C-alpha cells in the first residue's frame, strides 16, 4: 500500500524517505533520533567537560609519541574547524590524514594545505589506486543504487584506520555532527564492506588489493573492524557532538584564522558529489538536503521556512561542467554514462550484504557505539534511520 504524502511538522523530512514514520504530533522518527542524541550528548558545561575528558584521554595514550591522534581532513568546514579546535583549543598533536580518490575539489585541497601549514600540523595524503577507485565508482553506477559513493566512504575509513595502525595511534578524531549534518537514511547511504565486495564482484573489472593492517585499501568488513577495534584498541572520537558548533560563526572563524575558502556547498570538497546529487534527484527521487537541512532546523541554525524554500530549487552543487568533468575522469563518454544509469533503480538489498547479521547484533553494536569502538552514530544509523 502506497503511503500518503506527508512532511514532518518540525523538520522537512517527508515520505520520499524510506522507513519514515510520524507520531501523533506529525513529527518524524528522525526527529526522535535527534532528541535522543541531543540528550545523550549535551552541550554547554557538560559538553565542555566531556571534551576535556576526551582530550585528556588522547594525550595520555599519545604521551611520548610524535602524534596523539589521527584526524581526518577534507578541506571542508567541519574537518577544518575540528583540526583548528584540536590544535588551538585542546593542544592536541594530530596527524592530519586525507583520502584522495581523484575527485577532490582544488579549493578544498588548498584549504587543507593552508590550515596544516598555519597550525604546524603534518598532513598525510593516502592516495587510492586510481584503477581501483575508478572501477568501484563505475561498478556502483552499474549497480544502480543511490549509495554510489560507497568506495570513497570505505576508503576514507580505511585510510584513517590504516594510518592509526601504522603509527600505533589509538584515537581517530572525525569532524562529524548530527546537529548540523543529520544522519542519512539507511537506504540512501548504506555502509557495509560485504556489500561493496558483492557489487565489485558483479560489476568490477580490476582486482582489489589484499588487506593489510596498515594498507587496507577498500577492505573494511566485520573481521577488519574487529581487528582495529579489539586487537589494536582504536576508538573514534566524534568531537563535534560535544561542541557548540554553529556553522555561520565557524565560517567567519575559519576565514579569519586559516584563510579558509568555502568550497561552494556542504560536501563539495568532493567534486563527485555533483554526479551523486544529479542522479539522486533525477533517478531516485532523492534530495539529500532533506536530512542536512532538517538537522540545521532542529538545531535552530536554519528557519524551517528557509529550508523549505531551498529544496524547491535544484541544488547548485549539480554543476553541469563538473558533472561532465567527473564523467570524463571515469573514462566514460556522456553517452556511455547515460546508458549505464538507465538501469532500473535498486538498493543495497538487491546485493549480498551484512544487514541481517547486523540486525542480529543490535545490542553488541549499541554497546560498541557507546564505548566509541565504532562511531557513536552507528547504532542509530542501522536501527533508527529507516529500514
pLDDT tens, position by position, 232-268:
999 999 999 999 999 889 999 999 999 999 987 666 7
pLDDT at position 266? 64
pLDDT at position 99? 96
pLDDT at position 387? 67
Give the single-character DSSP code of 212.
B
Half-sphere exposure of 51 (CA within 13 A, CB side): 21
pLDDT at position 146? 97
pLDDT at position 238? 92
What SS3 class is residue 93? coil
Low-confidence ranges of the chain (pLDDT < 50): none
DSSP one-letter string for 256-292: HHH-----SSTTTTBTTHHHHHHHHHHHH---THHHH
Closest to 179 in 3D by CA, of 271, 47, 316, 370:
47
Closest to 127 in 3D by CA, of 234, 228, 215:
215
Half-sphere exposure of 57 (CA within 13 A, CB side): 16
Q: Are 254 and 80 in contact (CB under 8 A)?
A: yes
Q: Are 78 and 180 in contact (CB under 8 A)?
A: yes
pLDDT at position 368? 83
Give the single-character DSSP code of 215.
B
pLDDT at position 371? 79
pLDDT at position 39? 93
d(CA 73, CA 368): 24
Find how far residue 218's CA is from the centre of its chain: 16
List the grid coordinates of 128. 587510492
pTM of the model: 0.94
Q: Are 109 and 73 in contact (CB under 8 A)?
A: no
pLDDT digits over 54-100, tens only?
999 999 999 999 999 999 999 999 999 999 999 999 999 999 999 99
Closest to 72 in 3D by CA, of 157, 151, 152, 180:
157
Rg (C-alpha) for the chain, rounded Å, is 20
Q: Are 239 and 41 in contact (CB under 8 A)?
A: no
Amino acid at each position: 500500500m502506497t503511503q500518503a504524502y506527508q512532511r514532518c511538522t518540525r523538520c522537512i523530512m517527508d515520505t520520499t524517505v524510506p522507513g519514515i514514520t510520524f507520531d501523533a504530533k506529525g513529527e518524524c522518527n528522525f526527529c526522535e533520533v535527534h532528541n535522543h542524541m541531543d540528550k545523550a550528548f549535551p552541550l554547554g558545561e557538560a559538553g565542555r567537560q566531556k571534551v576535556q575528558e576526551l582530550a585528556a584521554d588522547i594525550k595520555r595514550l599519545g604521551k611520548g609519541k610524535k602524534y596523539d591522534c589521527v584526524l581526518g581532513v577534507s578541506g571542508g568546514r567541519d574537518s577544518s574547524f575540528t583540526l583548528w579546535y584540536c590544535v588551538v583549543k585542546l593542544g592536541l598533536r594530530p596527524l592530519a590524514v586525507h583520502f584522495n580518490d581523484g575527485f577532490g575539489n582544488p579549493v578544498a585541497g588548498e584549504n587543507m594545505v593552508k590550515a596544516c601549514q598555519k597550525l604546524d600540523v603534518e598532513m598525510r595524503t593516502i592516495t587510492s589506486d586510481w584503477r581501483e577507485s575508478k572501477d568501484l565508482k563505475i561498478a556502483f553506477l552499474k549497480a544502480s543504487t543511490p549509495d554510489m559513493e560507497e568506495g570513497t566512504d570505505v576508503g576514507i575509513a580505511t585510510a584513517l584506520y590504516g594510518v592509526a595502525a601504522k603509527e600505533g595511534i589509538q584515537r581517530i578524531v572525525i569532524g562529524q555532527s548530527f546537529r548540523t549534518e543529520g544522519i542519512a537514511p539507511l537506504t540512501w547511504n548504506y555502509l557495509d564492506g560485504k556489500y561493496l565486495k558483492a557489487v565489485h564482484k558483479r560489476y568490477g573489472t580490476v582486482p582489489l588489493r589484499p588487506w593489510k593492517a596498515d594498507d587496507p585499501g577498500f577492505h573494511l568488513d566485520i573481521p577488519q573492524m574487529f581487528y582495529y577495534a579489539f586487537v589494536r584498541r582504536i576508538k573514534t572520537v566524534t568531537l563535534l557532538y560535544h561542541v557548540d558548533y554553529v556553522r555561520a560563526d565557524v565560517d567567519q572563524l575559519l576565514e579569519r584564522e586559516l584563510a579558509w575558502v568555502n568550497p561552494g556547498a556542504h560536501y563539495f570538497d568532493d567534486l563527485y558529489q555533483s554526479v551523486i546529487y544529479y542522479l539522486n534527484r533525477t533517478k531516485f527521487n532523492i534530495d539529500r538536503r532533506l536530512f542536512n537541512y532538517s538537522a540545521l532546523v532542529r538545531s535552530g541554525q536554519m528557519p524551517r521556512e528557509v529550508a523549505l524554500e531551498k529544496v524547491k530549487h535544484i541544488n547548485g552543487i549539480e554543476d553541469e561542467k563538473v558533472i561532465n568533468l567527473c564523467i570524463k575522469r571515469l573514462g566514460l563518454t556522456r553517452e556511455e554514462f547515460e546508458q549505464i544509469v538507465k538501469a532500473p533503480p535498486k538498493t543495497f538489498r538487491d546485493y549480498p550484504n551484512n544487514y541481517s547479521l547486523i540486525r542480529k547484533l543490535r545490542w553488541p553494536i549499541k554497546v560498541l557505539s557507546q564505548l566509541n569502538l565504532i562511531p557513536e552514530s552507528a547504532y542509530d544509523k542501522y536501527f533508527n534511520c529507516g529500514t
